[in-house]
Amino acid sequence: MRIHLDKIASVTRNLRLDRMVTLTESIKAEPGAVLAGRILGDKSVYNQLEDVFGRMSMLQNGDLIVGALGHRNALHGYEGVLPSSVKIGDRLNVLNLGGVLGHCVSHNPDVGPPFEIEILGQVLVYPEFQKRQGHPANIQQGALKAGGPLPACPVIFVAGTCMNSGKTAAACALVRRFRAAGLRVGGLKLTGVGLMRDILGMRDYGAEVALDFTDAGVVTTNAENAAAAAKVLFSEAASRGVDVIVAETGDGIMGEYGVQAIFADPELRPLSTAFVLCANDPVGVAGGVKFLNESFGISVDLIAGPATDNRVGVRFVEQVLGLPARNARNDAQGLGDFILDLVESRKAGRA
């Protein structure tokens, strides 16, 4: 069966698919499997799909799209699981803006129920030139491969207490400041659910290399795959000769996307030159600082996020916890200056 696609979701970008695709009825229900389907119904909220260029477009009833199987555990979005099996005509759900497909089991009221999608088949790819034998498509095909040394350049980790805690704003502020200092910057998104938005933001602010876990062939990170995917991204950034890396972890430090596995990894934890924690409120700041220190021996260097939106939060952080606080929206320059100075002093101390 051949169909012409209306939209190609960004989670499938490793495959560089054409609009015209061939489908097979034999579907492998595994993470990353690329499926085609028909959107059922319309929505007035959370009704867009990110394409392979990062552009958002409206999803409408009857649209033929491709996405990839995966799961999601989003506090402010959908909880969805990977189906145990999939066949033609099954109805799944679109779990995120990047085109991750699965069974939704709960949702946040702010986003409403997810789109349903009627499955039409699994996409076939033809990796062998002039061969007519198709292979079931998976985003692991065309992904970056493991190998190569981890970076020796400074790495700044940006983590948060939960999603929507200001991590990407802080990461972009750092990218911009390092770029203004004449450095070649790598921006990485280490964990989360497939979506290009954050790494595109880092690229907009000056990152010469911008990669996320989907580039490593992962739809949704978890405790089992996050550290391995992170090593692929770090080694790839190092191979491209960047001077500094800003590495954002998606979701929260206590979530289910594998952030803890990264911080516990004996090869990844020592990469940190500086650590920025973003939080929504003072309790999140206090708890996050304590959790990171007690669980992983990580000392937070700077607090950012909504907890620092005005002097009330800044005063708590500085006077009660004795930590510096900078806000990415109100004082992006100050945030960048602080971390740049810290990185330079620590580099000098190691020389």
- What does 65-103 look like in DSSP terms, one character per residue? EEEEE--EE-TTSEEEE--S---TT-EEEE-STT-EEEE
Helix axes 197-204, 167-180, angle to 10 degrees: 30
The pLDDT score that the predictor gives to residue 351 is 60
The pLDDT score that the predictor gives to residue 130 is 59
The pLDDT score that the predictor gives to residue 46 is 92
Give CA 237 to chain center in angstroms: 16
The pLDDT score that the predictor gives to residue 255 is 86
Return the CATH fold of 155-350.
Answer: Rossmann fold (3.40.50)
pLDDT in tens, 106-132: 999 988 999 999 999 999 998 776 567
335: tokens are 């945030």
Q: Residues of the chain whose pLDDT is less than 70?
A: 129-131, 351
pLDDT in tens, 185-228: 999 999 999 999 999 999 999 999 999 999 999 999 999 999 99
> For residue 51, what is the DSSP state?
B
The pLDDT score that the predictor gives to residue 77 is 87
d(CA 273, CA 181): 17
The pLDDT score that the predictor gives to residue 138 is 97
220: tokens are 């949704």
Q: Residue ranges of the domains in the chain?
A: 2-136, 155-350
> For residue 220, what is the DSSP state?
B
Confidence (pTM): 0.94
> For residue 114, what is the DSSP state?
P
